[in-house]
Each structure stands twice: as C-alpha cells, then as structure tokens.
Amino acid sequence: MQIVAENLTTVAHVIQMAVAPVFLLTGIGAILSVLTGRLGRLVDRFRALSETRETLPAAQARELTILTVRAHWVHWAITLCTASALFVAIVIGALFMGAVANIDPSRIVSILFIVAMTSLIIGLGCFLREISLSVHIFDLGKESS
C-alpha cells in the first residue's frame, strides 16, 4: 500500500508540473487560431485580386506583391508556433516518461522548453512583421487617390 501511495504522489506531482505547459499550449493554440484566420483572409484577398489580373491598376498589382510577402510571414509564424506547441507537448511527455521510468528528465525538459520558447518568440516576431506589412495596404489606398 505504501508503494501505491508513493506512486500516486509522484503522478500528482508530475501533473502539477505539467499544468503550466498545458496552459502554454492553450495560449499557443489561440495564437495559431488568429494566424490561420489571417492566412485565410490573405488567401481570399489574393484570389479576389488575381481573378481580375488583366485589368489591375498599379496599386492593386503592388497589393498582390505585399499579400504574397505577408502570406510568407504568416506561414513562418504558423510553422514556428506549431513547432513550439510540439516541443511543449514533448516537454509534458518527457515529464511523465521521467516519472514512469524513474529518471531525472530535467536536462531534456530544460532544453526542449528553451527550444519551444525560442520558436514561439521567433514565430511571434514573424507575426509582428506580417502586421507591419499589413499597414502598407493603407499606403496603397492613399497613392491611388
């Protein structure tokens, strides 16, 4: 009975340690939702402009170029944030595998968490770049007036 109580205590402790990364996964999921929504709107706008490509004014041609660049930045943001979520999930798995195998996973968990945060930071940087490019669409409207 003593062993069962110790195992339950260990599992409870691992679950407590895994709670913060699970909340992080929730936040990354929300970010990914925003990013995929932006990508969808970019694709829709690109298709709408491409259908009338023969009669495009210069401002709309430049908008197509900007939309393409923005789509690349959103793509990288989605890729990096997804990779971050994957690394966080591996961190959670490593915590539980360490408890089950009775080994110290602190080194691998630390490295994976650093990689996850680095990926998330770079992904958010790509998102910021895409947002700054989206402001140029307003400049195009001023040029055509």
User: Whole-prediction pTM value?
Assistant: 0.83
Other C-beta atoms lying within 10 Å of the C-beta of residue 77: 26
63-110 per-position pLDDT tens digit? 888 999 999 999 999 999 999 999 999 999 998 898 888 899 999 999
Residue at token pair 């089950």: 100
Contacts of 116 (CB under 8 A, 6+ apart): 24, 83, 84, 85, 87, 88, 91
Give the separation between CA 74 and CA 95, rounded to whole angstroms: 31
Share of the chain above pLDDT 90, in %: 58
* pLDDT at 30 (0 to 100): 97
Query: Which residue range forms the structural domain that includes residue 132?
Result: 2-144
Number of structural domains found in the chain: 1
Tokens of 4: 């069962």
DSSP 14: H
pLDDT the model gives residue 9? 74
Is residue 9 within 8 Å of 94, Cβ to Cβ?
Answer: no
- The DSSP string of 24-90 is HHHHHHHHHHHHHHHHHHHHHHHHHHHHTGGG--HHHHHHHHHHHHHHHHHHHHHHHHHHHHHHHHH
pLDDT given for residue 57 in this prediction: 78
Q: Please tell me the predicted confidence (pLDDT) of residue 126.
A: 98
CB within 8 Å of 52: residues ≥ 6 apart: 60
Alpha-carbon distance of 97 to 133, in angstroms, equals 43
